[in-house]
Amino acid sequence: MSSEHADPATVHVSVLRERCVELLAPALQAEGAVYVDATCGMGGHTEAVLEACPAARAVCIDRDEEALALAGRRLERFGSRASFAHASFDHLAEVLAERGVAEVQAVLFDLGVSSLQLDDVDRGFSYRADAPLDMRMDRSQSLTAAEVVNTYEVGRLWTILRRYGEERHARRIAENIGRMRAERPLRTTGDLVRAVETATQSHEHRGHPAKRVFQAIRIEVNGELSEIESAVPQALAATAVGGRVAVMSFQSLEDRIVKRILREACTTTAPPGLPEIPEDQLPRFRALTRGAEQAGEDERARNRRSASVRLRAVERIRGRKR
């Protein structure tokens, strides 16, 4: 279904919507408070935040123009309280600077591929249907999954599958892709699935054999992990005292990065054993969640995408270091 006719409220159910509002709303009560939805998608979380926080305004960022179009329709009733930026989330600081926003009160990241992207067969994110090998979240970029699969050296493919997919059979699969593309290029998701299946047909699998391979290639195409490394620190730096940052991850590689960055923000930089910690070495943030929160059984039953979510959130308790 195209963005022109889709109803964003039915196309996508936002994961942990109420919990995200509960975590972020206390920082968004003052008039003019700024909420940044760094991965706006179809606007479900932003809609909930703007309803709960009538004094706040939202800056909605997404690299997917189709998703932004749907979010624009969904949030139209909020008028100028919602503004939109077509950008990847690692441009967060740049987007805020363009709007003259010096600091914000809340930021939300909903990482990974969206339901809109997975459900649109033609975009090539799913291993369950045959489609062009694309996998671009931002269709204006040039790099596609087809280019990765057909032009990367086999050794580089092996590294990507092992690192980004944690795929046990990475070498076997990469070598088989090399053999198959020597005969003819792999052009569709079906071609890639066959390459995986023929390489691993004598091995047992948990779930679909191509799941981790598709994850790895998608991460490479969209530079997802490097963007998290850049974007989450940008969000922390932009957050005012009393402001909050929440991050939802959907696979272990994302969550490890987020966990490390947030833990560092909540930890003193002073060496152990000091009788008194200098002000500039005290933690800038405190954790709002105990470890990573997961969706409850009811939500997992209603929304299968919530099954793998890990939610972490922090609050700024001290100003920026000078």
32 is in an annotated binding site: no
Contacts of 169 (CB under 8 A, 6+ apart): 199, 200, 203
The dihedral through the CA atoms of 54, 59, 63, 69 has a sign that is positive
117 is in an annotated binding site: yes
90 is in an annotated binding site: no
91 is in an annotated binding site: no
**How many Cβ atoms sit within 10 Å of the Cβ of residue 171?**
17
Contact 233, 1 (CB under 8 A): no
CA 275, distance to chain mean position in Å, is 41
Residue type, 297: E
Residue 7's alpha-carbon distances to 43, 67, 138, in angstroms, are 11, 11, 21
Contact 313, 290 (CB under 8 A): no
CA angle (319, 321, 322) in 5-degree steps: 115
45 is in an annotated binding site: yes
Q: What is the CA radius of gyration of the chain?
A: 21
Contacts of 225 (CB under 8 A, 6+ apart): 164, 219, 253, 254, 257
Distance between CA atoms of residues 243 and 316, nearest Å: 6
110 is in an annotated binding site: yes
89 is in an annotated binding site: yes
Contact 64, 11 (CB under 8 A): no
Binding residues for S-adenosyl-L-methionine: 43-45, 62, 89, 110, 117
Binding residues: 43-45, 62, 89, 110, 117
